Amino acid sequence: MHSGQRRPWRPQITRGECCRGWVFFALYVFLFPWLMGWVQRSYPGEFPVAEANVVYYLIIAALTFLVLWSYLRLNFRLLLDWLPENLFALVTGLAGGGVLTFLVDLIPLPVQNPNLTSYPEQYFFAPGPTVLILVVLMPLVEEPFFRGLLFGSVRSYSRALGYVLSVGVYAFYCAVQFVYAFGVLDLRYLLLMIQYAPVALALTWCYDRGGSIWSAIALHMMFNAFGLWLALN
């Protein structure tokens, strides 16, 4: 079957996985970061940030596989069965996301993305853990939830609404972490949602068009690797 033919969309996640997934997703967004901050504040002496972050994301990734194992296994089969379609979605998502990101970066904003300075610092002190977290573990955790769970759940009822929520919620999630990054409330950092929207759109397109969350995971890894490379250069 050629890459121009769209296969019919069907729900890929079971009701039980959906329920477990939403509970875990809420914990990942709201509770786990607070727990990590509490551990850092309670740790006597100098806190091993890089090592602790690797352990944190390894645990989160393992729990993600545990919660969504059937879904991830099914999507691996779909990746193999629909490999040309997923490759097409990956390549077009990479190209489209890259072009849109370039155009969006031309828009002047009153704040600068803190990752432009934090990524080089993290890489300088711990290159291995930084690459492992950004390029491997974060895509493995985020794509099953922002695309697989969020978009997949809504896509069954409204494709357009699925895109709006998947792109909007992910962009907000990425930008809102900087609102209190420097100890004071600065809502201008929410404008960084504009910078994250092209990548979120490309990732959602990749999953929707290819049909396997693994192609979106691979694309997310590519975007993060390229973003790290740009920050370092």
CA angle (69 as vertex; 213, 87 as ends), nearest 5: 20
113 residue type, one letter: N
- Domains of the chain, residue spans: 15-232
Is this model's pTM higher than 0.75 or not? yes
pLDDT of the residue at 10: 63
Burial 179-212 (b: 16+ CB within 10 A, else e): eeeeeeeeeebeebbebbbbbbbbbbbbbbbbbb
Predicted confidence pLDDT, tens digits, the chain (233 residues)? 444 455 666 667 888 899 999 999 999 999 988 888 787 777 777 767 778 889 999 999 999 999 999 999 999 999 999 999 999 999 999 999 999 999 999 999 999 999 888 899 989 989 999 999 999 999 999 999 999 999 999 988 899 999 999 999 999 999 999 998 777 889 999 999 999 999 999 999 999 999 999 999 999 999 999 999 998 98
55 residue type, one letter: V
- Helix residue spans in the chain (DSSP H): 15-26, 32-42, 49-67, 69-81, 83-104, 115-125, 127-131, 138-143, 152-155, 159-176, 193-210, 213-232
